[in-house]
């Protein structure tokens, strides 16, 4: 049987959206898929050496529950969503939301993004960074982890054209 293949385009640079590409890629690799992720636009943040740049923003995100990761059960079940106009006025709102999200992630036995990324690399998931957006955003190759390849759309299609599953995230 031929090896199955999966390609993902990762375009989002927030803590929450960092999960789908790394979860799917690491799982695909465990299932025996040859897997590749093409990081472009804000997705480049996912291959930075410093992942502390990843934040989650409740602003303009009505689907995101704002719940506390500590306290008794009744307290944890309260949804603290508030209007965008108020959120945007509170200094450090995103940083607090990010800290709470990280605590929730830890409480639920969900892997951290640095761990999942490392698991992908151990499983030989190939990472390709979009050279055009690296330049567009003024990044240097030294901003990114080792083991990245740099290429463009044609590089992506070379592999994506042969895949069984191809996702845009």
**Binding residues vs another protein (CB under 8 A):** 23, 26-27, 30-32, 108-111, 119, 123
Question: Which residue number, 115 or 149, has a Cβ lying nearer to another protein?
Answer: 115
Nearest to 43 by CA among 118, 124, 117, 147: 117
Least distance CB 169 / another protein (angstroms): 15
* Residue 1 tokens, joined: 């049987």
Measured distance CA(98)–CA(53) in Å, rounded? 11
Cα gap 68→77, rounded to integer Å: 8
Minimum CB distance to another protein, residue 4 (Å): 9
Which residue(s) pair with 127 in the sheet? 37
Q: Which is nearer to another protein, 118 or 143 (CB)?
A: 118
CB of 165 to another protein, least distance (A): 12
- Phi then psi dihedrals of residue 70, to 5 deg: -145, 170
Minimum distance from residue 74 beta carbon to another protein (Å): 22
* DSSP at 155: H
- Nearer to another protein (CB atom), residue 26 or residue 36: 26
Is the Cβ of residue 36 or residue 40 nearer to another protein in the bound state?
36
């Amino acid at each position: 049987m031929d090896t199955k293949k999966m390609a993902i385009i990762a375009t989002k640079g927030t803590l929450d959206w960092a999960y789908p590409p790394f979860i799917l890629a690491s799982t695909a690799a465990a299932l025996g898929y040859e897997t590749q992720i093409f990081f472009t636009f804000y997705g480049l943040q996912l291959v930075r050496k410093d992942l502390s740049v990843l934040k989650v923003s409740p602003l303009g995100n009505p689907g995101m529950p704002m719940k506390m990761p500590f306290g008794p059960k009744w307290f944890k079940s309260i949804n603290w969503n508030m209007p965008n106009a108020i959120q945007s006025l509170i200094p450090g709102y995103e940083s607090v939301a990010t800290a709470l999200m990280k605590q929730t992630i830890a409480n639920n036995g969900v892997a951290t993004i640095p761990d999942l990324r490392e698991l992908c690399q151990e499983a030989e998931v190939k990472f390709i960074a979009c050279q055009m957006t690296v330049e567009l955003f003024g990044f240097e190759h030294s901003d990114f982890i080792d083991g990245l390849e740099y290429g463009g759309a044609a590089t992506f299609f070379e592999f994506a054209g042969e895949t069984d599953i191809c996702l845009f995230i």
